[in-house]
Structure 1
């Protein structure tokens, strides 16, 4: 049965505690990284993006354009930095473009 707390807590604190107890942070990271990619890259890149997947700390992005893949490969470090800044913590350490 669930614990009852006598002191008042904010909803944000309760949600953080719930996510930690049920180990839901990795699933939320996958969703957050996907949203961050879509927001940061814009429509031009998103039109050529087939799949976005986070495994551990590596972001796998499947692209339909070889030219775009080559162009983005030059800025992998910048992509990692931008996504981590968007999420306000270090989630992604490497990007693999397929």
Structure 2
């Protein structure tokens, strides 16, 4: 049973505690990375993006265009830096384009 306190707490604190107690942070990070990719890359890249998955600090992005995959492979370090800056924390260490 969840602990109950009579102290007044902000919604932010309650939600942080809920996420921490139920180990939900990794799932939220996956959603945040997917949203960051969509926002940073724009429609041109997103039209060819078929799957985005974060596993153990490695971001796997499946692209339907081999030409686009080759172009993006030249700027993987910059993409990783932009994603981490957008997320506000160091979540992505490696980018794999498939």
Please give the range of the TM-score, normalised by the shorter of the 2 chains: over 0.9
After superposition, residues 27-66 of structure 1 pair within 5 angstroms as 27-66=27-66
Q: For this pair of structures, how many residues does the alignment match?
A: 98
| 5+ residue gaps, structure 1 | none
Over the aligned positions, Cα root-mean-square deviation in angstroms equals 0.8
TM-score, normalization by structure 1: 0.96
> Aligned with 2:51: secondary structure?
strand
TM-score, normalization by structure 2: 0.96
- In the TM superposition, residue 9 of structure 1 has moved relative to its aligned partner by 1.4
- Post-superposition Cα deviations, 1:7-51, rounded to whole Å, max 9, x if no partner, equal 221111111111111100000111110010000000000001010
| 5+ residue gaps, structure 2 | none
Q: Equivalents in 2 of 1:8, 1:85: separation in Å?
A: 34
- Runs of 4+ deviating beyond 6 Å: none
Q: Equivalents in 2 of 1:9, 1:82: separation in Å?
A: 34
